[in-house]
A and B are shown apart, each in its own frame.
Chain A
Amino acid sequence: MRDYELELIASLAERTLDDETEALALVESSAEHRAEYEAQKLALRHLGAIGPVTMTDTEKTAMHRDLWTDLRTTPSTTGIPWYYRWVPVAAGLLVVVGVVSVLSNQSANDSSGERAGATVVAADDGGGDETVQEETAQGDDGAADEEPTSGGYAASPPVAETDEATALEFSNAAEKVRQGEYPALARSALQSDSASDETQVCLGDAGLEGYRELGEIPNPAPTSEFASNTLIVAIPVDGTLTDGPLAFVEPDTCTVVHFEG
């Protein structure tokens, strides 16, 4: 049965048609259509007889009490910019850097050979970003403990595990996005606005600091019937759509489901 026919029959059962002639003729045209009409009527009759369900006053009072207890005991990130959470960490790092610098300078005055330990550029030298490099006797491994970043955005956020078929669907969707098959996203990519406040927290939670939302696309591969129907498409604030990092983020859980570096 075609969608149009189903809609016509359903509307007849709902009694919402101004002119029922065509629908009545369709119902009479075959046993299948008549059966569909009877099914729609049966369902509507039972659904219409369902009484309201409400919480009792006691249930509401308990819910309000439990909700406020939960809010008071659980830290909320509502309205707090993502970078505020890293201020204590940054402060701690500065203290460590300063202490190590003092100790290193003291030991440098005493030693004359190659040293193994941390070399630190102190923050109060007036330079820009502070960097920490570990030099060992075996040589410089060159890498800081944190993931390498460039351009001020996360280069490799945590990505939810998916199977091969789903990953392929996401790759195909990403290709379509890059090819400009979603005009609204392509337009948004040309604008240099940073991510809106409303989604900044979600992108931050997803590990996508320094990214911005271009918009949303239909989820090409829902992993379950309860998965989000859309995905946020995000690129670095100064990035482009055609190349560079691209991420799909599930808006309900703020997790990255697909990432291309």
Chain B
Amino acid sequence: MTTASQDAELLLRVLDGDHDAFNQVMRNHEDRVFAVCMRVIGNREGARDATQETFLTVFRKASQFKGNSALGTWIYRIAVNTCYDQLRKQKRRRTEPMPEHHDPADHAAVEAIESAALRPEIEHALAAIPADFRTAVVLSDIEGLGLPEIAEILAVPVGTVKSRVFRGRRLLAGELGNQST
């Protein structure tokens, strides 16, 4: 986990055109961004696209980072909004399968998908609840972020975050209960 001053220094170097600095920003945050995108969007291809789009936006809007929050919080906010955009696009079109020869087969990714399939019930339940509640639950109960930080990411009051988390869990429990019957 990088400190605020380390992040600030990296961002200054990014604004100076230092590509290595931006690569470092990506390495510092890509795992968490991908994890959130994966949970919110629900499929690996969409999560990869959203992660890439998130960092494209981070690069292009680096000059707009005000420093009022941690860089990670700002990146999370971009990631969440990017995921929402991705969900909107998915609603409008069907996802075409990737051509087989686009990239070499990634056996590690296949293993990752298969291991996630060991717990399909929670994945399906998460996908079934509204995106607003899903995002709050993901950030709170899976990513372990505090309520004030989530409030900053989602640009809503802390009370709203609490409500979404608690009611999101209730909806999740309902979906899990439906799956077991």
Contacts and interface: CB of A to CB of B under 8 A. Distances in A.
A56 interface: yes
B93 interface: no
Given A49-B119, A226-B84, A78 B141 contact: no
Nearest to A70: B56
Given A63-B51, A78-B61, A199-B64, A43 B173 contact: yes
A43 B169 contact: yes
Nearest to A78: B60
Contacts, number: 145
Contacts of B155: 228-230
B106 interface: yes
Interface residues of B, number: 64
Contact of B131 (A39, A60, A226, A230): A226
Contacts of A252: 81
Interface residues of A, number: 51
Contacts of B148: none
A239 B176 CA distance: 55
The 6 A-B pairs of least Cβ separation, nearest first, read A39-B173, A43-B169, A226-B84, A56-B108, A198-B64, A229-B155
Given A58-B109, A62-B103, 20 more contacts: A3-B163, A7-B166, A36-B170, A39-B170, A40-B169, A47-B122, A48-B141, A49-B119, A55-B30, A58-B106, A59-B48, A59-B106, A60-B30, A66-B52, A67-B26, A76-B60, A198-B66, A225-B84, A226-B81, A226-B131
Interface of B: 15, 19, 23, 26, 30-31, 34-35, 38-39, 47-48, 51-52, 55-56, 59-66, 81, 84-85, 87-88, 103-104, 106, 108-109, 112, 115-116, 119, 121-122, 125, 130-132, 137, 141-142, 154-156, 159, 162-163, 165-170, 172-174, 176-177
